[in-house]
């Protein structure tokens, strides 16, 4: 049934896109070639009557995806993090995509919790509320622990959601293969890569153990961050389809009237949310990648509370240093250094002209710095930067795209709290502090010591490794073996000296 199911689902998708007016929006965003446009309209127009009507008050793309159901809603949300694929205009529309869906019954949720945790519900919870929030993949209930009376939030996956998503993702793969088959020119759109990325994200969100793990790691990284709090995971009541967290009371960060009524300093909140994001991205390389107002609250004591850890971003230490140097170079308006960093990191091909690239970067930065402080946008800067680097042959880096998208969202949150905030003044101390800690002579010595410690672990194996490497190289250069010792002895001495140096530095580390 897989083939017929996919064909029927594909026809209904095309029909819905046509009926809601989203077909051309999507095709334009992907810069689809003529052959693909003809195929799409052929599948959609004759069957418009099969398409879902959706909510006419929504923009076409969000209207169509919302009408098509949970998998399509989640697909749109994931695509909103990839403006490199769908373009900035469509990504902006998809960022407001909401997945507020009708909840499933409380009794069903209670049965799911009992089945997943293997205990009678009343032994775990003395109270279990009606659903308080329902999304495309799961819904949340407020409950009270039977053992302690503590209030908790219980997140439960929708019954059968795994099978439903698998069917739709299978249809997405089928559509991607059709695109590649009938429109070879569309392969540059990387349809299979886009679906594989989505599949990976969804698989992670359909296993709440992974979200629990992400929440726990994030909490460990940020436990000493002043003015920031994460509800702890209740591990004994969490599993693959159920996740239990301590209850977090607070005012939604997007409710300015309530924040003012509670005498919270919105300017301080705006600066703090931006600083915290940069701190987590640069210091830890592990950040909340869905930091919109709906996932942030303000506690009575003024702490910012974050929750919903289904989408987290990760950046390795080297990339963090590159990103910090790029930001710092723009803050100082040192465009030559920003250009050099791109070349040193290998982001821009070495055959490009560094001075020409620096001039292009100046054209990006100077208009922004000429603006009034309240209109300076780090998100806009990063967007322009990616446009320029693409012209100079820089390959797309998914982790930086996610970082840029989150930066735009966080900046929007901060601006909604304080429209007059100077983004650069807030960002500068965080970036400067990271630069001092991670770049320079002291950081180089620390890196060298850490490298030596890693190499020292191979100390007992170094003689064998050196001998095997020498024998392999000499046999390659001289298969007869007649010239082995004249080459091997100097190389062995050098290797031994290197080993001694490693052991010395490891002792210093």
Residues 6+ apart with CB under 8 A from 61: 22, 25, 26, 76, 90, 93, 94
Give the number of other Cβ atoms within 10 Å of residue 338's Cβ. Answer: 23
For residues 106 and 126, give the distance between their C-alpha atoms in angstroms, rounded to a whole number: 15
The backbone torsions φ and ψ at residue 140, rounded to the nearest 5 degrees and listed phi first, read: -120, 140
Q: How far is CA 408 from CA 405, 425, 458, in A?
A: 5, 17, 45
Q: Which helix (H) or strand (E) holds 469?
A: helix 462-477
For residues 296 and 303, give the distance between their C-alpha atoms in angstroms, rounded to a whole number: 10
Distance, CA of 269 to chain centre: 23
Residue 509: its pLDDT value, please?
43
CA nearest neighbour of 253 among 298, 191, 317: 298
Dig out the tokens for 128 from the structure.
């279990």
For residues 455 and 439, give the distance between their C-alpha atoms in angstroms, rounded to a whole number: 22
Beta strands 242-246 and 286-288 are unpaired
Q: Which helix (H) or strand (E) holds 506?
A: helix 484-508
Residue 450: its pLDDT value, please?
62
For residues 164 and 158, give the distance between their C-alpha atoms in angstroms, rounded to a whole number: 10
Residue 405: its pLDDT value, please?
72
Could you report the average pLDDT of every consecutive run of 10 residues in the chain (509 residues)? 68 84 78 74 75 83 85 80 68 69 91 95 96 89 96 94 87 81 60 78 86 94 94 95 94 91 94 93 90 88 91 86 82 87 86 90 76 62 69 70 77 85 82 77 63 65 69 63 54 53 45
Alpha-helical segments (H) within 145-265: 161-182, 191-205, 208-222, 256-261
Residue 507: its pLDDT value, please?
44
For residues 428 and 332, give the distance between their C-alpha atoms in angstroms, rounded to a whole number: 10
Q: Compute the chain's Rg from CA coordinates.
A: 27
Is residue 78 within 8 A of residue 201, CB to CB? The reply is yes
CA nearest neighbour of 228 among 124, 305, 324, 151: 305
Residue 365: its pLDDT value, please?
78
CA nearest neighbour of 292 among 248, 348, 252, 259: 252
The DSSP call for residue 392 is T
Residue 488: its pLDDT value, please?
54
Catalytic annotation, pick one of 84, 168, 225, 290: 290
Residue 65: its pLDDT value, please?
86
For residues 474 and 461, give the distance between their C-alpha atoms in angstroms, rounded to a whole number: 20
- The model's pLDDT over 183-241, given as tens digits with 9 standing for 90+, comes to 665 555 567 777 887 788 788 788 999 999 999 999 999 999 999 999 999 999 999 99
Torsion, Cα 146 309 190 186, to 10 degrees, reads 80
Is residue 417 within 8 A of residue 464, CB to CB? The reply is no
For residues 280 and 284, give the distance between their C-alpha atoms in angstroms, rounded to a whole number: 5
Residues 6+ apart with CB under 8 A from 2: 170
Dig out the tokens for 31 from the structure.
């810069």
Q: Residue 290 catalytic?
A: yes
Residue 165: its pLDDT value, please?
87
Torsion, Cα 206 209 213 219, to 10 degrees, reads 90
* Distance in angstroms between the alpha carbons of the first and the last residue of the chain: 62
Give the number of other Cβ atoms within 10 Å of residue 452's Cβ. Answer: 18
Residue 10: its pLDDT value, please?
77
């Amino acid at each position: 049934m897989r083939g017929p199911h996919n064909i029927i689902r594909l026809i209904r998708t095309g029909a819905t896109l046509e009926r809601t007016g989203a077909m051309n929006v999507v095709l334009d965003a992907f810069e689809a070639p003529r052959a693909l446009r003809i195929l799409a309209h052929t599948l959609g127009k004759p069957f418009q009557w099969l398409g879902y009507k959706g909510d006419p008050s929504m923009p076409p793309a969000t209207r169509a995806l919302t009408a098509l159901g949970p998998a399509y809603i989640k697909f749109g949300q994931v695509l909103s993090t990839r403006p490199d694929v769908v373009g900035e205009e469509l990504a902006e529309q998809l960022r407001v995509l909401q997945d507020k869906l009708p909840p499933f019954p409380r009794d069903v949720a209670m049965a799911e919790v009992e089945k997943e945790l293997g205990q009678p519900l009343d032994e775990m919870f003395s109270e279990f509320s009606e659903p308080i929030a329902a999304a495309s993949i799961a819904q949340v209930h407020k409950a009270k622990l039977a053992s302690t009376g503590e209030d908790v939030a219980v997140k439960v996956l929708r019954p059968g959601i795994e099978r439903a998503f698998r069917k739709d993702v299978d249809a997405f793969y089928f559509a991607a293969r059709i695109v590649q088959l009938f429109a070879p020119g569309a392969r540059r759109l990387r349809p299979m890569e886009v679906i594989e990325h989505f599949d990976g994200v969804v698989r992670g969100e359909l296993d709440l153990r992974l979200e629990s793990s992400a929440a726990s790691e994030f909490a460990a990284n940020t436990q000493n961050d002043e003015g920031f709090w994460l509800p702890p995971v209740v591990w004994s009541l969490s599993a693959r389809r159920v996740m239990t967290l301590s209850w977090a009371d607070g005012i939604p960060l997007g409710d300015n009237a309530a924040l003012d009524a509670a005498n919270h300093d919105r300017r301080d909140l705006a600066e703090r949310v931006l600083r915290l994001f940069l701190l987590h991205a640069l210091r830890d390389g592990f950040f909340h990648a869905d930091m919109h107002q709906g996932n942030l609250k303000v506690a009575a004591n003024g702490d910012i509370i974050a929750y919903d850890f289904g989408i987290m971003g990760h950046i390795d230490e080297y990339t963090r240093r590159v990103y910090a140097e790029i930001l710092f170079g723009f803050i100082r308006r040192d465009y030559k250094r920003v250009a050099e960093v791109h070349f040193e990191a290998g982001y821009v091909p070495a055959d490009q002209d560094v001075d020409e690239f620096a001039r292009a970067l100046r054209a990006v930065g100077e208009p922004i710095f000429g603006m009034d402080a309240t209109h300076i946008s780090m998100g806009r800067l990063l967007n322009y930067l990616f446009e320029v680097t693409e012209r100079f042959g820089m390959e797309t880096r998914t982790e930086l795209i996610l970082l840029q998208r989150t930066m735009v969202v966080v900046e929007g949150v901060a601006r909604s709290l304080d429209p007059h905030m100077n983004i650069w003044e807030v960002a500068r101390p965080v970036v400067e502090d990271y630069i001092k800690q991670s770049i320079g002579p002291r950081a180089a010595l620390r890196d060298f010591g850490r490298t030596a410690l890693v190499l020292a672990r191979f100390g007992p194996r170094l003689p064998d490794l050196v001998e095997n490497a020498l024998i392999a190289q000499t046999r390659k250069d001289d298969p007869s073996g007649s010239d082995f010792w004249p080459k091997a002895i100097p190389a062995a001495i050098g290797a031994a000296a290197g080993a001694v140096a490693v052991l010395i530095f490891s002792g210093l580390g």
